[in-house]
Chain A
Amino acid sequence: MSYITIDKTKCKSCYLCADVCPKALIKKDGDTGKTGQATVRFEDKNNECLACAQCAMVCPDLAIVSVIKE
Chain B
Amino acid sequence: MQTSEIKYTVPKSIKKDTVFTFCPGCDHGVALRLVAEVLDELNLREKSVAIASSGCSVLLYDFLDVDCIESPHGRACAVATGVKRAHKANGSDKFVFTYQGDGDFASIGLGESLHSALRGENITAICINNTNYGMTGGQMGPTSAMGQITTTSPTGRNKEYHGFPIKTAEHIALCDGVSYSARVALYDIKNIINAKKTIKKAFEYQLEGLGFSFIEILSSCPTNWKLSPSEAHKKIENELTKTYPIKVFKDIKETPNV
Q: Does B235 touch A at the CB level, under 8 Å? A: no
> In chain B, residues 1-48, which have Cβ atoms closer than 8 Å to a Cβ of chain A?
2-10, 14, 18-20, 22-30, 33
The answer to whether A51 and B20 have CB atoms under 8 Å apart is no
Residue B258, interface by CB 8 Å: no
Complex formed: what's the CA distance from A56 to B23 in Å? 17
Q: A65 contacts B10, CB within 8 Å?
A: yes
Q: How many residues of A contact B (CB 8 A)?
A: 29
B222 CB to nearest chain A CB (Å): 8
Contact A69 B189 (CB under 8 A): no
What is the CA–CA distance of A64 and B2 in the complex, to the nearest angstrom?
23
Alpha-carbon distance between A53 and B192 when the two chains are bound, in angstroms: 12
Q: Which residues of A contact B27 (CB under 8 A)?
A: 60
Are the CB atoms of B189 and A61 closer together than 8 Å? Answer: no
A58 / chain B contacts, CB cutoff of 8 Å: 30, 189, 192
A68 CB, min distance to chain B CBs, angstroms: 5
Does A67 count as interface, using CB distance less than 8 angstroms? yes
Contact B8 A66 (CB under 8 A): yes
By a CB distance below 8 angstroms, the chain B residues around A53 are 7-8
Min CB–CB distance B13 → chain A (angstroms) = 12
B20 contacts which of A13, A20, A62, A66 (Cβ < 8 Å)? A62
**Known contacts A10-B19, A15-B230, A61-B29; A56/B8 CB under 8 A:** yes
Please measure, in the bound complex, the distance between the C-alpha atom of A39 and the C-alpha atom of B193, giving whole angstroms. Answer: 26
A residues sitting closer than 8 Å to B (CB atoms) are: 2, 9-10, 12-16, 19-20, 35, 51-54, 56-62, 64-70
Given contacts A57-B189, A69-B4, A70-B5, 18 further A-B contacts (CB under 8 A): A10-B19, A12-B23, A12-B24, A35-B24, A52-B7, A57-B30, A57-B192, A60-B20, A61-B19, A61-B29, A62-B10, A62-B20, A66-B6, A66-B8, A67-B7, A67-B9, A68-B7, A69-B7
Q: 9 A-B residue contacts at CB 8 Å?
A: A10-B19, A12-B23, A14-B229, A51-B5, A57-B8, A60-B26, A61-B20, A66-B10, A70-B2
